[in-house]
Amino acid sequence: MTGAFADEILVGGRWRQGTGEPLETRSPATGEVLAVLRGAGAADVDEAVRAGAVAAADPGWRDLLPHERARHLVRIADLIAEHAGDLAALQTADTGKSINETRALVASAQGTFRYVAAALETMEGALTPPRGPYLTMSVHEPIGVVGAITPWNSPIASDAQKIAPALAGGNAVVLKPAEWTPLVSLALGRLIMDAGLPPGLLSVLPGPGAVTGDALVRHPGVGKVSFTGGTATGRAIGAVAAQKIMPVSLELGGKSPTIVFPDADREQALAGLLFGVFSSSGQSCVAGSRVFVHDSIYEEFVSELVRRAGKLRVGPGTDPATQVAPMAAHAHRDRVAAMVDRAREAGARVRCGGRAPEGEAYERGAYYLPTILDGVPNDAPICQEEVFGPVLVALPFADEDDLVAQANASVYGLACGIWTGDYRTAWRVARRIEAGTVWINTYKQFSISTPFGGMKDSGLGREKGREGILGYMRQKSVYWGLDDSPLPWAG
């Protein structure tokens, strides 16, 4: 044990030290070391996958009826609910996120297990229309062992989003959480095992992506990888999956446009924009990080946005009043600062922020002020590259066709926000924007019942929704001959 945090990882049903390199996890608020773990090495991955394959093939799991398997998921949800306060505090310690946000993420994880349990109980197969003297049906079966790889920005929610449907599909799961933030994923692993999940069905293997993650993706015993993270990593994982002819789902990065039309409700748009980009300190795949404002209201609207951004409360995640908490790691904060500095050198106007806050309270934390830039064209690097920090770039637009072209001129296609009082404008633009999710007069709202995923370089496949479970299953067609006489060809 280091401090209050366990230093064991979950390998094929056993809690023990990993065989990989030491992994240090630090508080983003103070820089202090929270825990040092021995991470998982390739040997641990192998052990976890083998144990997973055995556990998934065990009739005690494989042959469970959907409503029986659903009971496991409900028990997990109950335990998450029971330990919600501790889980939120742990995630705030490890990721720096504000306590209000981590409470919401724990609630989301709990809700995910409950929703998936309900979806599983009510899932239906299909009898397909017969085209001959036979009955045809389509059934779904477990894949076996699923590799789940998650990033550091919202660990418990993104872990649950993969573990719940993968277990519902009858699989074993090997989870590889991000190296910066393993603690809450390990705590979730403890609760899941305490809920009575048969050993071997879940492993939690923190470790470096290039070692532990890579070994997991390449392991011949892994039948699917579900990945959330950056586009470059996703592309590399997709290439390995192509070689293995293995299904893969990729939830990747974004540079999402939000659009403010002159007839928008100003208060709603201002509040939505601030929340959409500065909550989670901008460390959100769907952060509305490019705002297009109609030129008839541009200066007035952006000035007010800047004024309000300057009033956001920047502070430690443990303070319930905090709106903008530290970033997840000091190295990440420095990367964000360097991107803003490059934009400034390239001619961007810094309307607010553009630096770390000053004062003793901020000295040791990975803080960065909410930042708004403008004065650069849409093809500037700061408008095209994902910053993954509290940085918004504002651009004016005059004409709808030009707006749509600019909004779509991005390799990404994850999300979009539209602020307008006219439902026809909203509908027209929503259908023309290349994005997996469009929010109209709201932003960054999520529902487990609604499919989520990206277009273009933002990803492949969809999570959530009733169909989310099917993404973790293999489809099989069955023909039942109903004719008494032999097939005519041979005779």
**Catalytic residue numbers, as ranges:** 251
Quick one: 251 or 374, whose CB is closer to ligand NAD?
251
Is residue 20 part of the contact set for ligand NAD (CB under 6 A)? no
Is residue 228 part of the contact set for ligand NAD (CB under 6 A)? yes
Q: Which of 52, 459, 465, 468 binds ligand NAD (CB under 6 A)?
A: 459
Stretch that binds ligand NAD, among 10-18, 130-138, 248-256, 427-435 (CB under 6 A): 248-256
Stretch that binds ligand NAD, among 113-121, 145-153, 301-309, 443-451 (CB under 6 A): 145-153
Rounded CA-CA distance 340/52 in Å is 45
* Amino acid sitting at position 326: P
Is residue 454 part of the contact set for ligand NAD (CB under 6 A)? yes
Quick one: 235 or 476, whose CB is closer to ligand NAD?
235
Within 10 Å of residue 144's Cβ, how many Cβ atoms?
A: 19
Query: What's the closest the beta carbon of residue 88 comes to ligand NAD, in angstroms?
Result: 18
Token couple for 260: 């403010």
Closest-CA residue to 113 (of 183, 57, 195): 195
Is residue 94 part of the contact set for ligand NAD (CB under 6 A)? no
Residue holding tokens 């999956």? 241
Quick one: 92 or 425, whose CB is closer to ligand NAD?
92
Count of residues in contact with ligand NAD, rule CB under 6 A: 29
Is residue 217 part of the contact set for ligand NAD (CB under 6 A)? yes
Q: Parallel, antiparallel, or unpaired for β 14-16 and 9-11? A: antiparallel
List 227's β-bridge partners, or say none: 149, 250
Task: Quickly list DSSP for 179-204.
Answer: TT--HHHHHHHHHHHHTTPPTTSEEE
Site string for ligand NAD, 385-414 (x = CB under 6 A): -x-x-------------------------x
Interior/surface letters 201-228, b for 16+ CB within 10 angstroms, e for the rest = bbbbbbbbbebbbbbbbbbebbbbbbbb
Query: What's the closest the beta carbon of residue 159 comes to ligand NAD, in angstroms?
Result: 11
Quick one: 155 or 365, whose CB is closer to ligand NAD?
155
Quick one: 94 or 251, whose CB is closer to ligand NAD?
251
Residues 6+ apart with CB under 8 A from 149: 175, 176, 209, 213, 216, 217, 225, 226, 227, 228, 229, 237
Within 10 Å of residue 442's Cβ, how many Cβ atoms?
A: 14
Site string for ligand NAD, 260-299 (x = CB under 6 A): -------------------------x--------------
Query: What's the closest the beta carbon of residue 151 comes to ligand NAD, in angstroms?
Result: 3
- Identify the helix (H) or strand (E) that includes residue 100: helix 99-121
Quick one: 217 or 222, whose CB is closer to ligand NAD?
217
Q: Which of 70, 188, 237, 302 binds ligand NAD (CB under 6 A)?
A: 237
Rounded CA-CA distance 368/138 in Å is 52
Q: Which of 236, 350, 352, 411 binds ligand NAD (CB under 6 A)?
A: 236
Is residue 213 part of the contact set for ligand NAD (CB under 6 A)? yes
Please give the biggest Cα pair distance in the chain.
Answer: 91
Is residue 191 part of the contact set for ligand NAD (CB under 6 A)? no
Quick one: 170 or 229, whose CB is closer to ligand NAD?
229
Quick one: 112 or 150, whose CB is closer to ligand NAD?
150
Stretch that binds ligand NAD, among 78-86, 99-107, 230-238, 298-306 (CB under 6 A): 230-238
Task: Quickly list DSSP for 128-171.
Answer: EPPSSSEEEEEEEEE-SEEEEE--SSSHHHHHHHHHHHHHHTT-
Stretch that binds ligand NAD, among 209-217, 258-266, 308-316, 371-379 (CB under 6 A): 209-217
CB-CB contact of 443 with 273 (8 Å):
yes
Stretch that binds ligand NAD, among 45-53, 110-118, 212-220, 290-298 (CB under 6 A): 212-220
Is residue 155 part of the contact set for ligand NAD (CB under 6 A)? no
- 423-432 and 400-408 helices cross at what angle (nearest 10)? 40
List 291's β-bridge partners, or say none: 258, 394
Is residue 233 part of the contact set for ligand NAD (CB under 6 A)? yes
CB-CB contact of 41 with 4 (8 Å):
no
Q: Which of 198, 230, 247, 451 binds ligand NAD (CB under 6 A)?
A: 230
Residues 360 to 389 in contact with ligand NAD, rule: CB under 6 A: 386, 388
Is residue 443 part of the contact set for ligand NAD (CB under 6 A)? no
Residue 312 DSSP class: S
Q: 126 phi and psi, to 5 degrees?
A: -130, 130
Token couple for 266: 């100003």
Query: What's the closest the beta carbon of residue 410 comes to ligand NAD, in angstroms?
Result: 13
- Identify the helix (H) or strand (E) that includes residue 95: helix 84-95
Is residue 52 part of the contact set for ligand NAD (CB under 6 A)? no
Residues in touch with ligand NAD (CB under 6 A):
149-153, 176, 178-179, 209-210, 213-214, 217, 228-230, 233, 236-237, 251-254, 285, 386, 388, 414, 454, 459
